[in-house]
């Protein structure tokens, strides 16, 4: 079955960077796009961007342009999302999700806490 398994929780200081991984299994990794979506505590879902694992092409929400980088390692079927210049407002659960359009499979989420 399709599975997306994310890396564990992170605690970072303001100004630092965080890199979250998303390991795919149960399907051909390069055949489906990956989105990244975040959710602050008690808040709604916020789309951050997408990546095509085959080409490496990416597209980012304007809000995160210049601070987010999405990459992949096809040899280990893993996608990555790196967010830099962290601030307290970036404290959230970060999800990877497969497919453009309807996001059919999701990772379990990674809590990133930004605190001094």
Partner 1 sequence: DIQMTQSPSSLSASVGDRVTITCQASQDISNYLNWYQQKPGKAPKLLIYDASNLETGVPSRFSGSGSGTDFTFTISSLQPEDIATYYCQQYDNLLRPTFGGGTKVEIK
Residue ranges that bind partner 1, judged by CB under 8 A = 35, 37, 44-47, 50, 59, 61-62, 95, 97, 100-104, 106-109
Nearest to 79 by CA among 97, 100, 59: 97
Whether residue 49 contacts residue 68, with contact meaning beta carbons closer than 8 Å, is answered with: yes
Nearer to partner 1, 83 or 97 (CB): 97
The nearest distance, CB 89 to partner 1, in angstroms, is 17
Nearer to partner 1, 10 or 46 (CB): 46
CB count within 10 Å of CB 57 equals: 11
């Amino acid at each position: 079955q399709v599975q997306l398994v994310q890396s564990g929780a992170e605690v970072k200081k303001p100004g630092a960077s965080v890199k979250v991984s998303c390991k795919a299994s149960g399907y051909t990794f390069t055949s489906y796009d990956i989105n990244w979506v975040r959710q602050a505590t008690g808040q709604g879902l916020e789309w951050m961007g997408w990546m095509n694992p085959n080409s490496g092409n990416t597209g980012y929400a304007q809000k995160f342009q210049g601070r987010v980088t999405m990459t992949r390692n096809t040899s280990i079927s893993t996608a990555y999302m790196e967010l830099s210049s962290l601030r307290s407002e970036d404290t959230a659960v970060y999800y990877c999700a497969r497919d453009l359009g309807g996001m059919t499979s999701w990772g379990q989420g990674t809590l990133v806490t930004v605190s001094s």
